[in-house]
């Protein structure tokens, strides 16, 4: 089980939101330094999100993303406002290993299929769910009452082997992950899942680790690390 530190960017700084809302807290104004710190602590992969891009539909922090990708020795995945094939190509060119798709992947099945044919494992879809429904546009809206599990099944049928699944009501709350929902998702879809949202303590990682044989491949950890609930080396003991 891969432990992946999250780096959320807004206005050029590293921040954390709560349930995607604007009550942000700034943790650093030097995202590259943060990225290097996590790598020095043992991170093997980094998850970078452009929150400005997620809300506006156009990536806004690509220079920083380029500096992060080229400034560390581990793969970096990036998402936030990526809505066309050209953007994916350009983001991969700056050194990003994998591009995360969200809103556009949900809204446009034709685009998603074209993207998968062209980029294969260099893209991954983030399924952001609220009460079982898919959220889009920085989690501000649901999309046509789309069932999250059915969308995950569609991704599997389209050829994807792995996806990122976030319970948006858990994200940034330090209230623990939705273990029951993750177990159900793994059972129903049979697709590899990167879990995100709500990690608060090492015991949460222990519970998720037990789902590894069922298909849980990784966990994205954000606020718990930034708030010092545990250290990355402590978390990596569950990898």
Scanning the chain, the segments in alpha helix (DSSP H) are 31-40, 51-56, 62-71, 85-93, 103-107, 109-119, 148-158, 179-189, 202-209, 223-226, 232-236
186 phi and psi angles, rounded to 5 deg: -60, -40
Residues carrying an active site annotation: 8, 128
Tens of pLDDT, residues 214-226: 999 999 999 999 9
| pTM (two decimals) | 0.94
Please report the pLDDT score of residue 1 as a whole number.
97
**H/E element holding 141?**
strand 141-147
Please report the pLDDT score of residue 159 as a whole number.
95
Please report the pLDDT score of residue 167 as a whole number.
86
Tens of pLDDT, residues 19-60: 555 556 899 999 999 999 999 999 999 999 999 998 888 999
Please report the pLDDT score of residue 130 as a whole number.
86
CA nearest 50: which of 21, 89, 12?
12
Provide the 8-state DSSP code for 230. S
Q: Range of 208's domain?
A: 2-236
Q: Output helix, strand, coil percentages for the chain, rounded to the nearest 5.
A: 40, 30, 30
Give every residue of the chain whose pLDDT is below 70, as ranges: 18-24, 137-145, 170-173
Please report the pLDDT score of residue 191 as a whole number.
96
Please report the pLDDT score of residue 168 as a whole number.
81
Q: What CATH code is carried by the domain that includes residue 77?
A: 3.20.20.70
Domain count of the fold of the chain: 1
Between CA 140 and CA 189 the distance in angstroms is: 26
């Amino acid at each position: 089980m891969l432990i992946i530190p999250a780096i959320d960017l807004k206005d050029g700084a590293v921040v954390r939101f709560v349930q995607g809302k604007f009550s942000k807290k700034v943790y650093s104004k030097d995202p590259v330094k943060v990225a290097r710190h996590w790598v020095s602590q043992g991170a093997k992969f980094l998850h970078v999100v452009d929150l400005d891009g997620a809300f506006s539909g156009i990536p806004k922090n690509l220079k920083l993303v380029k500096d992060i990708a080229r400034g560390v020795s581990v793969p970096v995945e990036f998402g936030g406002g990526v809505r066309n094939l050209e953007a994916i190509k350009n983001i991969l060119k700056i050194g990003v290993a994998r591009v995360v798709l969200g809103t556009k992947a949900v809204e446009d099945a034709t685009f998603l299929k074209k993207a998968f044919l062209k980029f294969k494992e260099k893209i991954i879809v983030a399924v952001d769910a609220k009460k079982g429904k898919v959220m889009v546009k920085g989690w501000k809206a649901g999309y046509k009452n789309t069932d999250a599990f059915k969308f995950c099944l569609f991704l599997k049928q389209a050829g994807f082997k792995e996806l990122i699944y976030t319970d948006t009501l858990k994200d940034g709350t330090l209230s623990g992950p939705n273990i029951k929902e993750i177990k159900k998702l793994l059972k129903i879809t049979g697709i590899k899942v990167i879990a995100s949202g709500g990690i608060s303590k090492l015991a949460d990682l222990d519970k998720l680790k037990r789902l590894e044989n069922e298909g849980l491949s990784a966990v994205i950890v954000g606020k718990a690390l930034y708030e010092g609930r545990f250290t990355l080396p402590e978390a990596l003991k569950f990898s």
